[in-house]
Amino acid sequence: MTGYIIRRLLQFIPVLLVATLIVYAMVFLMPGDPIRALAGDRPMSEQVQAQLRDQYNLDDPFLVQYGKYMWGVFTQGDFGTTFQGRPVLDIIRQGLPITLTLAAVAFVFQAVIGTIAGILAAVYKDSFVDRFVQVSLVIVVALPTLAIAFLLQLTFGLNLGWFPIAGTREGFVSYILPGIVLAAVSTGIVARMLRSELIEALQSDYVRTATAKGMKRSRVVTRHGLRNSLIPVVTFLGADLATMLAGTVLVESVFNMQGLGGQVFRSIQAQENTIVVGIVILFVLFYVVVNLIVDLLYAVLDPRIRYD
């Protein structure tokens, strides 16, 4: 088991290198001169420009730039500074709690609501409940995320006034609407996945054995049916938790939150490349770690799987 984890962690190194290289290349080979963009309409002396170029290694060949940057990241935890001179780590430290809270709210929502909807649909298969769940999920999946965001803002934010619709000033409550929006599509997928898995599990022989023991239906479903059908759902949830970070780019912009996703969006516009690269590296790292956890969870859920 330990050997397996070490092997997997070693696999991260090439993954991380390749991913960051691609991101770095994409951002830094983009047309346009960031120094010019920084200066804008104001005049900037040659000397200042040269100093900035030197500070950000802009005159080095691309690979050397990349090498210097990664060296800084991994030896000193230095993600560089923005063109305004602010350390990127500072920005990350500020935005990370917001983004993580948002992702956590969304994750809990999709896991809980998706699972409940999936179980109801499977247990009352072909009944009205099942169809109701299915149809409403199709609607949610089919609607563009933006439309869902505006609909929720309009209904629960403006008309009913239950939730704030922008910013994070009101604490946890302000994460609920954006969390739901972020989770909407995945909730539908989780529910449908669990429904089909559970229906299959409920027809299996071991569920029949459990019923023959005289167990209550609810206990048969939760203890015998659910655990077996959760395996693929957990895999999906894990992979989705990571892709969710990409979703925060849109949601944080719509809800005007100062998290990492919104930051990436604004930084791309302002050509603040160091911020983009720093945050994306963080996202990649997160993705890889979450995937490892999912694979380990797999062995917990299904004892037939052994890592050695």
Partner 1 sequence: MSKKRGSETPVEKLSVSNPWIPAVMSLLIPGLGQVVILKQREFGLKLLIAWLVIAIGPTLVMTPLRLSGTQVNRGAITLADTVALSALGIGVLIAAFAAVTAYRSAMPDSDEATAEAAREKPPEAALSFQDLRVSFNTEFSTVDAVKGVSFDVMPGEVVAVVGESGSGKSVTSAAAMGLIPKNGTVSGKVFLSGQDITTMDAAQLRRLRGTEVSMVFQEPMTALNPVLKVSDQLKEAMEVHGVAFGKDALAKGVELLELVGIPDPGKRIFEYPHQFSGGQRQRIVIAMAIACSPSMIIADEPTTALDVTVQAEILDLLRRLKVEINTAIMLITHNMGVVADMADRVVVMFQGEVVESGTAEQILMSPQHPYTRRLLEAMPKLHQAKPSATAAVEVSEEWPDQTQAEVDAEIAIEAKDLALAYKHRGKAMRVVEGVNFSVPKGEILGLVGESGSGKSTIAKAVLGLLDVDHGELLIRGRNLPSLSRKERKAVRKDIGVVFQDPAASLDPRFPIGEIIAEPMVVQKVGSPNDRKERAAELLEAVKLPRSVINRYPHELSGGQRQRISIARALSLSPSILIADEPTSALDVSVQARVLEMFIELQEQFEFACLFVTHDLAVVDQLANQIMVLEKGRVVEQGHKNQILREPRMDYTKRLLAAAPVPNPQEQRDRREARHKLLAAQGLNTD
Least separation in angstroms between residue 307's CB and partner 1 is 11
CB 217 → partner 1: shortest distance, Å? 7
**Minimum distance, C-beta of residue 228 to partner 1, in the bound complex (Å):** 6
List the interface residues with partner 1, window 76-135 (CB under 8 A): 124, 128-129, 132
The count of residues interacting with partner 1 (CB under 8 A) is: 36
276 sits in the region (left: phi over 0; alpha: psi -120 to 50; else beta) called alpha
Residue of 7, 213, 222, 246 interacting with partner 1 (CB under 8 A): 213
Show the 3-state SS of the chain.
CHHHHHHHHHHHHHHHHHHHHHHHHHHHCCCCCHHHHHHCCCCCCHHHHHHHHHHCCCCCCHHHHHHHHHHHHHHHCCCCECCCCCEHHHHHHHHHHHHHHHHHHHHHHHHHHHHHHHHHHHHCCCCHHHHHHHHHHHHHHHCCHHHHHHHHHHHHHHHCCCCCCCCCCCHHHHHHHHHHHHHHHHHHHHHHHHHHHHHHHHCCHHHHHHHHCCCCHHHHHHHHHHHHHHHHHHHHHHHHHHHHHHHHHHHHHHCCCCCHHHHHHHHHHHCCHHHHHHHHHHHHHHHHHHHHHHHHHHHHHCCCCCCC
Q: Does 303 bind partner 1 (CB under 8 A)?
A: yes
Q: Among 7, 86, 93, 217, which residue interacts with partner 1 (rule: CB under 8 A)?
A: 217
Could you tell me the smallest distance in angstroms from the CB atom of residue 227 to partner 1?
5
Residue from 121, 185, 202, 210 in contact with partner 1 (CB under 8 A): 210
**Considering only 51-59, 91-99, 222-230, 284-292, which stretch makes contact with partner 1 by CB under 8 A?**
222-230
Is residue 215 close enough to count as binding partner 1 by CB under 8 A?
Answer: yes
| Residue 216 is a binding residue for partner 1 (CB under 8 A) | yes
Write out the binding residues for partner 1, residues 142-181 only, by CB under 8 A. Answer: 150, 153-155, 157-161, 165
Minimum CB–partner distance for residue 130 and partner 1 (Å): 11
Nearer to partner 1, 150 or 236 (CB): 150
Q: Which is nearer to partner 1, 156 or 265 (CB)?
A: 156
Query: Is residue 232 a contact point for partner 1 (CB under 8 A)?
Result: no
Residues interacting with partner 1, by CB under 8 A?
124, 128-129, 132, 150, 153-155, 157-161, 165, 204-206, 208-217, 219, 223-224, 227-228, 301-304
